[in-house]
Chains A and B, each alone.
Chain A
Amino acid sequence: MRNDGTLDRRAVVAALLRDPGDLLVVTGLGAPSYDAAAAGERPLNFYLWGAMGGAAMVGLGIALAQPSRRVLVLTGDGEMLMGIGALATIAAAAPPNLAIAVLDNARYGETGSQRSHTGLTTDLAAVAAACGWPATAVARDMDEVAALTPRLRREALFAVFRISANEEARHLPPRDGAYLADRFRRTIGVVHD
């Protein structure tokens, strides 16, 4: 079907996370976590190293708890497919401050680049739209990335980025979950009680 992505994943993520301010970022396991770390390690990035399928729902939880802040979930096609029901759950909950960006290479890159469903028959943006997401988009070139970047900071937008299947050097963020969670909470000012 569509293994035709040509976007450079590191360039896409660098654009999406440029001048992040206090943007709260959740990354799905594997390459999206490495991409976000390569764009700039920061305490408001919460990197998943496991819990596959959970990135979008972690984002929803943060968005509900912090309604005055923006939340961006950055994940891959395989991780989003595993948690595909979350597209329905989030659409029904309708948080105005949550956006999802899927880096879609139509591959399970971490395990040997086996084809995923997005390279076979599944159109994730269409799935999100059918679930009731108010806005969905697909980016295939850097002009479209530039147009979607500000929208991901202000809309309830589900966006798919058609990236090439090229693998980048692993840029490993911290993987101690307790450390990642604690620094995230401290940075946004959650008081331990």
Chain B
Amino acid sequence: MSGSSWQAQVFAALKAARVTVVGYVPDAGHAHLIEAAHADPDMRAIVLTTEEEGIALAAGAWLGGARAVLLMQSSGVGNCINMLSLPLNCRMPFFTLVTMRGEWAEFNPWQVPMGSATPAVLTAAGVHVRRADSADDVAEIVAASAALAFDSAVPVAVLLSQRLIGAKAFVK
């Protein structure tokens, strides 16, 4: 994988983890993964209207013997909280990649409250939280976190830091 982008390495880590269902609420930081998932004939990429749909989608996929990931941004984490009772009660894996907003050169103040609360909220809801800050080890963190989720049947979130993905530019 050396020489490829970190985004391509993360997609390869999802493939290696045998993820075949990708639910997402679009985010610029996930654009590569979303496009790659749609282009992959062995994956189903499902656009969601709200993030908690992705938790129920992942639970159903697991019931049917498939592995899913939810791609969202930190502003969507708050939408998920009650639905997290589903994988927790049913002792199912849940795996999500969260692109962070509101923490690094954020222009839009409306992103700050949920971005700031994201790690604590996920932890309080019973999700194991990991964080990737650099391109050097993000794929390794995603791979290890996917293994934790699917092998130990627990909810795991990997936060992709805003410094890693690059702050959104509002001036064109």
Whether A50 contacts B48 by the Cβ 8 Å rule is no
Whether B56 contacts A65 by the Cβ 8 Å rule is no
A24 to B65, CA, bound (A): 13
Chain A contributes a number of interface residues (CB within 8 A of B) equal to 39
Q: A65-B66, A89-B48 are in contact. Are A50 and B89 (CB under 8 A)?
A: yes
Whether A61 contacts B86 by the Cβ 8 Å rule is no
Please name the residue on chain B nearest to A181 by beta carbon: B90
**Residue from the list A65, A85, A180 in contact with B64, Cβ < 8 A:** A65
Whether A185 contacts B63 by the Cβ 8 Å rule is yes
Query: Per DSSP, are chain A's interface residues mostly helix, strand or loop, or mixed?
Result: helix
B131 within 8 A of A: no
Please name the residue on chain A nearest to B84 by beta carbon: A51
Chain B interface (Cβ < 8 Å from any Cβ of A): 20-21, 44, 46-50, 52-66, 68, 82-83, 85-86, 89-92
A26 within 8 A of B: yes
A184 to B62, CA, bound (A): 10
A185 to B30, CA, bound (A): 31
Chain A interface (Cβ < 8 Å from any Cβ of B): 24, 26, 46, 48-66, 83, 85-86, 88-89, 92-93, 177-178, 180-182, 184-185, 188, 190-191
Name the A residues within 8 Å of B52 (CB-CB).
53-54
Distance in angstroms from B70 CB to nearest chain A CB is 11
A33 to B97, CA, bound (A): 32
Name the A residues within 8 Å of B92 (CB-CB).
181
Known interface pairs A61-B61, A181-B59; 16 further A-B residue pairs with C-beta atoms within 8 A, sorted by A's residue number? A49-B89, A51-B56, A54-B52, A54-B59, A57-B57, A58-B63, A60-B60, A61-B63, A65-B20, A65-B21, A65-B62, A65-B66, A177-B86, A181-B62, A181-B92, A185-B63
Name the B residues within 8 Å of A184 (CB-CB).
63
A56 to B85, CA, bound (A): 16
Name the B residues within 8 Å of A86 (CB-CB).
49, 53, 56
Whether B62 contacts A61 by the Cβ 8 Å rule is yes
Name the B residues within 8 Å of A190 (CB-CB).
63-65
Question: What are some 29 contacts across the A-B interface (CB < 8 A)?
Answer: A49-B89, A51-B82, A51-B83, A52-B82, A53-B56, A54-B59, A59-B60, A61-B56, A61-B57, A61-B60, A61-B62, A61-B68, A64-B46, A64-B60, A64-B64, A64-B66, A65-B66, A85-B50, A86-B56, A88-B49, A89-B46, A178-B91, A181-B59, A181-B63, A181-B90, A181-B92, A185-B62, A185-B65, A190-B63
Distance in angstroms from B79 CB to nearest chain A CB is 10
Name the B residues within 8 Å of A50 (CB-CB).
82, 85-86, 89
Q: A51-B56, A61-B58, A89-B49 are in contact. Are A177 and B89 (CB under 8 A)?
A: yes
Please name the residue on chain A nearest to B50 by beta carbon: A85
A11 to B114, CA, bound (A): 46
Closest 5 A/B residue pairs (Cβ)? A61-B60, A65-B64, A85-B49, A54-B56, A57-B56
A48 to B65, CA, bound (A): 18
Whether B91 contacts A177 by the Cβ 8 Å rule is yes
Q: A53-B52, A188-B65 are in contact. Are A60 and B82 (CB under 8 A)?
A: no
Whether A178 contacts B90 by the Cβ 8 Å rule is yes
Whether A180 contacts B90 by the Cβ 8 Å rule is yes
Distance in angstroms from A53 CB to nearest chain B CB is 7
Name the A residues within 8 Å of B59 (CB-CB).
51, 54, 58, 61, 181
A65 to B92, CA, bound (A): 15
A54 to B68, CA, bound (A): 16
